[in-house]
Each structure stands twice: as structure tokens, then as C-alpha cells.
């Protein structure tokens, strides 16, 4: 039996090249630096994009063009690579790209935040066990069903026809 939910496996690809990774790491620093108290790690330190599994091909293409565009704009405007820019200048270029290429920035945010919050180091820090939902599942309290007593006293509210 072939299953179309194996689609992700066919889309595994190698990581981005060194220049692209340099741009990506600065983007990660802008979006997800370490927390001021040091409790939450910086996204850059977790190697989130070492494996591009589950990055759909169209998103990978979007990433590559978006990262290249940032590098090209840095070289054109500042005469240096994006990764060498002061953080404020880098942020300005990202803000400009956000207007011109909202889809790339939105996709970057989804992928970066998704990989960060599902990382086994981060999950316990946000109150979750570092494991998939299945097979263990979770306990949800049944709750106080006496709250329903007052509703049970109501007459019917549907219409006869």
C-alpha cells in the first residue's frame, strides 16, 4: 500500500549553503535571540535548519530566493554581506523585505518558530514534555459537571415545527 502521507520523505533535501546559512542565522538572531534572563536559548544555537525535512520544496525555493535577496540588498546598499551588518541595519533590510516579500518572511517565521518550539531543549522550558503527543497522550481533567445542573433546569429551547 502506498501512502500519500509519505510525501514529506521525498522532499528531504540538504541544508542551505554557507552564505544562505549566514543570512539565516542573522534572521534567527533578530526573531528569536536568547531571553534576557538566559532561560530561553537563542534559536541560532539549536541548529534548527540542519535537516530540511518537512520544508516543502516550494518553501525551500522561497527560502533560497529570500535569503539571496537579503544578501544582494546588503551588498548593494552597504557594500558588505548581510551577516556582517550591524544588527540595526540588518533589521532595516528585513523590514523593507517584509513589505516586498511578505510571503518569504511569513514562511521564515513559521518554519523558525515551529522548529524552535518543537525542539527537545525548548519544549520543557514552555511547560511541555519533550515527546510527541502519541502514543502516550495527555491527561485532561474530566471537569466539574455540576456546572451543568443549572442548564438542565432550562425548558427546551428548540422550536417545534
Partner 1 sequence: MTNDPVDVLIIGAGASGAAFAWSMADTRMRILCLEQGDWMNPAQYPSTGLDGELRQLSEFSFDPNVRNRPADYPVNNTESPISIANFNAVGGSTILYAAHFPRFHPSDFKVMSCDGVADDWPIDYQTLEPYFALNDRMMGISGLAGDPAYPAHELPLPPVPLGASGETMARGFNKLGWHWWPSDSAIITRPYQGRDRCLNLGPCTSGCAQGAKGSTDISYWPEAIRRGVKLRSRCRVREVTVDAEGLANGAIYYDADGVEHFQPAEVVVLACNGIGTPRLMLNSKSTRFPNGLANNNDQVGRNLMLHPYAWVMGTFRERLDGQFGPSGCCIWSQEFYETDRSRGFVRGYTMEIVRGRGPLVTAINGLGSGQIPWGAGFHQAFGQLFAHTTGMVVICEDLPEPHNRVTLDEHLTDSNGIPAPKINYTLSQNSLRMLDHAVARSTEVLTAAGAISMQSEAPWKAAGWHNMGTARMGTDPAKSVVNEWGRAHEVHNLFIIDGSIFTTSAGVNPTSTIQALALYIADSMKERLANLFD
- Is the CB of 96 or the CB of 130 nearer to partner 1? 130
The answer to whether 123 contacts partner 1 (rule: CB under 8 A) is yes
Q: Return the exposure string of 49-84: e unless at least 16 CB atoms fall within 10 Å of the residue's CB, then b.
A: beebeebeeebbebbeebbebbbebbeeebeeebbe
CA-to-CA distance for 141 and 96, rounded, in angstroms?
47
- Is the CB of 76 or the CB of 139 nearer to partner 1? 139
Report residue 75 as a C-alpha cell.
551588498
What's the angle, vertex CA 131, arms to CA 127 and CA 132, rounded to 5?
A: 110
The answer to whether 88 contacts partner 1 (rule: CB under 8 A) is no
Mask for 1-20, x = binds partner 1 (CB under 8 A)? xxxxxxxx------------
The answer to whether 30 contacts partner 1 (rule: CB under 8 A) is yes
Judged by CB under 8 A, the residue of 25, 70, 90, 115 near partner 1 is 115
Mask for 141-160, x = binds partner 1 (CB under 8 A)? xxxxx-xx-xxx-xxxxxxx
127: burial class by Cβ within 10 Å (0-12, 13-18, 19+)? Answer: exposed
The answer to whether 79 contacts partner 1 (rule: CB under 8 A) is no
CA-to-CA distance for 107 and 118, rounded, in angstroms?
16
Q: How far is the CB of 43 from partner 1 (least distance, A)?
A: 10
Q: Is 135 helix (H, G, I), strand (E, B) or coil?
A: coil
The answer to whether 117 contacts partner 1 (rule: CB under 8 A) is yes
Interface positions with partner 1 (CB under 8 A): 1-8, 30-36, 39-40, 53-54, 56, 58-59, 109-111, 113-115, 117-120, 123, 126-128, 130-145, 147-148, 150-152, 154-161
Amino acid at each position: 500500500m502506498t501512502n500519500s502521507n509519505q510525501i514529506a520523505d521525498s522532499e528531504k533535501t540538504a541544508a542551505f549553503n554557507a552564505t544562505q546559512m549566514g543570512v539565516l542565522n542573522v534572521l534567527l538572531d533578530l526573531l528569536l535571540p536568547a531571553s534576557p534572563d538566559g532561560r530561553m536559548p537563542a534559536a541560532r544555537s539549536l541548529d534548527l535548519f540542519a535537516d530540511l525535512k518537512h520544508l516543502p520544496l516550494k518553501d525551500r525555493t522561497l527560502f533560497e530566493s529570500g535569503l539571496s535577496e537579503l544578501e544582494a540588498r546588503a551588498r548593494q546598499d552597504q557594500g558588505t554581506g548581510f551577516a556582517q551588518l550591524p544588527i540595526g541595519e540588518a533589521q532595516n533590510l528585513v523590514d523593507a523585505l517584509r513589505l516586498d516579500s511578505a510571503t518569504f518572511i511569513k514562511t521564515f517565521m513559521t518554519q523558525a518558530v515551529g522548529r524552535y518550539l518543537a525542539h527537545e531543549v525548548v519544549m520543557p522550558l514552555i511547560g511541555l514534555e519533550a515527546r510527541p503527543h502519541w502514543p502516550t497522550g495527555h491527561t485532561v481533567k474530566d471537569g466539574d459537571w455540576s456546572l451543568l445542573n443549572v442548564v438542565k433546569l432550562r425548558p427546551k429551547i428548540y422550536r417545534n415545527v
